[in-house]
Amino acid sequence: MRLLSELPYNEARPIWVEFSRRYAEQARGRVKVYLEEGMKPGTIFAQTELGKLLTNSKVTQIDGFVMDKGQWVQKEWFKPKAG
């Protein structure tokens, strides 16, 4: 989203937080998450999306992938709450 990339971080971040929250609340079934640098505290994913995905009763599985030596590698981090 070019518009957001032109905004200062402190103005763009709340917009991305809202996009992420809505995405996670509307997710269904098996969700694949790609985190190029792995799980990092303080990121929008860690602070917003993950919690919403884990408590979303319509999400059946969360597959996490991280970049390792130029290839995506699956990690077993996430287990949605049994509903």
Q: 40 pLDDT exceeds 70?
A: yes
**Cα 3 from Cα 18, distance rounded (Å):** 15
Among 48, 53, 45, 44, smallest CA distance to 81 is for 53
Instruction: Identify the band that residue 77 occupies on the pLDDT scale cut at 50, 70 and 90.
Output: low
Mean of per-residue pLDDT scores for the chain: 86
Terminal Cα distance for the chain, rounded = 35
Of 33-42, 50-59, 67-76, the range with the highest mean pLDDT is 50-59
pTM metric for this prediction? 0.77
Kindly state the percentage of the chain with pLDDT values over 90. 51
